[in-house]
Amino acid sequence: MRRAARHLFWAGGGAALGLALATVGASAAVAGEQCTGAGPHLRVVVEGLRSSQGYISVELYPDDPKLFLAHNQQLVVAHDKLDRTEATVCLNVPKAGTYALSAYHDENGDDQFNRSKLGIPLEGFGLSNNPKIFLGLPAFETMRFRVSDNETTIHVGLRYFSGRSARDHRPIAESVALSDTSPSNRALGLP
């Protein structure tokens, strides 16, 4: 594990997406597909990586919207080297309950979440339950999930706002905006 602080900030159209992604040394994270040891486990399958370069960071947060993505409020953090375009990380969870999770792809391995001059993320990121993202952070309720007493598996799909996504051959920002039929998109004239 590496220690570092990262901040992701994307501003567009007057709305902002601010994710504070900070890693701290945590022995509670185990790379690989098998969870071991006592207590509840969370297996996180991160999908949609556009390359096997760099690192994947996964962070577990308590069930509190004020603490989600806040600096140094993670309960468990994993920061693991990638060797393929799907990553599975096992987290030893403090107790069964409700949590929220963030993940990001440090694609160039520089230990920073890279952004454009406009603040648009240049590296992929994802949130638990894969909520749609359009000009801001989704409602906290859309990212909450439950961890059982044994082992729980969730899948997190990464989004890339620059370059091409691994899911299709359109830039991911276009595929997110075009697939969202929310009232705010209709008001903006989007499908």
Q: What is the pLDDT of residues 101-155, one digit of tens each?
A: 999 999 999 877 788 898 888 999 999 999 998 877 899 999 999 999 999 999 9
Nearest to 23 by CA among 57, 55, 53, 54: 57
Specify the residue for token string 């993505």: 69
Q: How far apart are CA 129 and CA 143, in angstroms?
A: 5
Predicted pLDDT at 32: 53
What is the separation, in whole angstroms, between the first and last Cα of the chain? 43
What tens-digit pLDDT sequence spans the chain (191 residues)? Answer: 333 333 333 333 222 333 333 333 333 555 456 788 888 999 999 999 999 999 999 999 999 999 999 989 999 999 899 988 889 999 999 999 999 999 999 999 987 778 889 888 899 999 999 999 887 789 999 999 999 999 999 999 999 987 655 544 333 333 333 334 444 334 434 44
Per the DSSP assignment, residues forming a β-bridge with 23 are: 4
Measured CA angle at 38 (ends 150, 87), to 5 deg: 70
Backbone phi and psi for residue 184, each to the nearest 5 degrees, phi listed first: -65, -35
- The CA R_g of the chain, rounded to the nearest whole Å, is 16
Predicted pLDDT at 27: 37
Nearest to 126 by CA among 64, 188, 172: 172
Residue ranges per structural domain of the chain: 4-187
On whether the CB atoms of residues 186 and 142 are closer than 8 A, the answer is no
Q: What is the DSSP letter of 137?
A: P
Predicted pLDDT at 85: 85
On whether the CB atoms of residues 107 and 160 are closer than 8 A, the answer is no
Predicted pLDDT at 21: 35
Predicted pLDDT at 172: 37
The pTM (predicted TM-score) of the whole model is 0.70
Predicted pLDDT at 165: 52
On whether the CB atoms of residues 107 and 52 are closer than 8 A, the answer is no
